[in-house]
Structure 1
Amino acid sequence: MTTSSTPPNAVTSTAPTLEDPSVYLNDPNRKLLEIDTETRQGPVLFRWLTLAMEYLIGAILAALIVAVSSNVVGRSVFNHSLPWVDELARMLFIWLVFIGAAAAFARYEHIAVDALVRRLPLRVAHMLYFLQHLIITGLMLVMMWGGYQVLTRSSGRSAIMGVPLNLVSLSLVLCVIFIAAVSLWRMWVSVDVIRQPHRQPTDLPGER
């Protein structure tokens, strides 16, 4: 008679299984609307602009770090700081915010609650995506008009460096133009999906 080596009251330990985080990060319903530079998904112009903005963001961030650090070292070590550095940092930060907002919009990296839309059928989800980007486009047009008014009426220069203030406001206009253009493209894709409900997420409209 053979006996088992495992005691009858022993508790078998099982390692917890971790759920794949891509389940929450990737939405198959919006796959057609994404701009991916690695897989060449989306219009080529938007892909190149997104890459250019990301490189510009890196350059601005590096310049910000160098500028702010130089003044920190100057104050603490040499008891002297450059007055124009603070002004430069403010202008660079404004460009960083707006260019970063445009790049994040292209990458679908803005905060969003998609618990409902990812559970809807593809056609119904794109109806909501169309409404969403219609609202975004309208808001961008309002901001575009406001930015244009600021550009045309602002003729001053910064106090220390003498940089035209129009150059600072230009970041807002470029940001909203890009977001509006991407929104219009996504609306067109959503309309195409609504008209063809059996379209698969991999059937991208000839944008490669």
Structure 2
Amino acid sequence: MYLDDPNRKLLEIDTDTRQGPVIFRWLTLGMEYLIGVILVALIVSVSCNVVGRALFNNSLPWADELARMLFVWLVFIGAAAAFSRYEHIAVDALVRRLPLRIAHMLYLLQHLIITGLMVVMIWGGYQVLSRSSGRSAIMDVPLSFISLSLVLCVIFIAVVSIWRMWVSLNVIRHPEREH
């Protein structure tokens, strides 16, 4: 049984089946590898701290700070990769029963809202980045580096969303054409 919405298939980015623009596929694949590297680094950082506390009764001050930074990057890169692959939770009971053209009208509205929200978040993220002058207490990393993960994530989501609006517009205008 096919669990995904067949109307949405045109909007998906899949690195396995080579569906979607090549730049989005490469960026998604790169993000997925980066997620793996960050996850390993996060596990190593937390494990070092646990071992240090348990065996030597001494925690590593940098390990907690590094784990927090890695977790923030992991969340935002993961959100962008999941959005790219259409893996966020969605209620699609209505849209899967609609004809292709009407479904894409709803997808167009959905991605118009998403793009609008991402533009607001890009602006807010830029404000945070431009005012962020501090550094982390232990590792002396610029705090703007942590905020950068949000900005990069929402820029990627906005660009993918704009591409999906374009695809939906083409389906709405020419539903009979094979897209």
Residue 167 of structure 1 aligns to a residue whose secondary structure is: helix
- How far 1:198 moved relative to its partner? 1.1
| Bigger radius of gyration | 1
**Aligned-partner Cα distance in 1 for 2:116–2:16:** 30
Tell me the alpha carbon deviations over residues 78-114 of structure 1, each in whole angstroms, 9 at most, x when there is no partner: 1111111100100000000000000000011100000
Structure 1 residue aligned with 2:133: 155
**Aligned-partner Cα distance in 1 for 2:113–2:36:** 30
| In the alignment, structure 1 residue 29 sits paired with structure 2 residue 7 | yes
- How far 1:199 moved relative to its partner? 2.8
Structure 2 residue aligned with 1:9: none
AA of the residue aligned to 1:138: G
Structure 2 residue aligned with 1:186: 164
2:151 to 167, 173, 176: 173
**Aligned-partner Cα distance in 1 for 2:128–2:51:** 36
Residue 86 of structure 2 aligns to a residue whose secondary structure is: coil
Residue 176 of structure 1 aligns to a residue whose secondary structure is: helix
| In the alignment, structure 1 residue 70 sits paired with structure 2 residue 48 | yes
Alignment map for 1:52-131 (pairs within 5 Å): 52-131=30-109
| In the alignment, structure 1 residue 137 sits paired with structure 2 residue 115 | yes
Whichever structure has more helix as a proportion of its residues is 2
Give me the TM-score of the superposition, normalised by structure 1: 0.85
**Aligned-partner Cα distance in 1 for 2:16–2:66:** 34
AA of the residue aligned to 1:165: L
Alignment map for 1:34-53 (pairs within 5 Å): 34-53=12-31
**Aligned-partner Cα distance in 2 for 1:38–1:96:** 22
Aligned residues: 179
The runs of 5 or more residues in structure 1 that have no matched partner are 1-19, 204-208
| Cα RMSD after superposing both structures | 0.7
Residue 105 of structure 2 aligns to a residue whose secondary structure is: helix
Tell me the alpha carbon deviations over residues 108-162 of structure 1, each in whole angstroms, 9 at most, x when there is no partner: 1100000110110000000000000000000000000000001101011001110
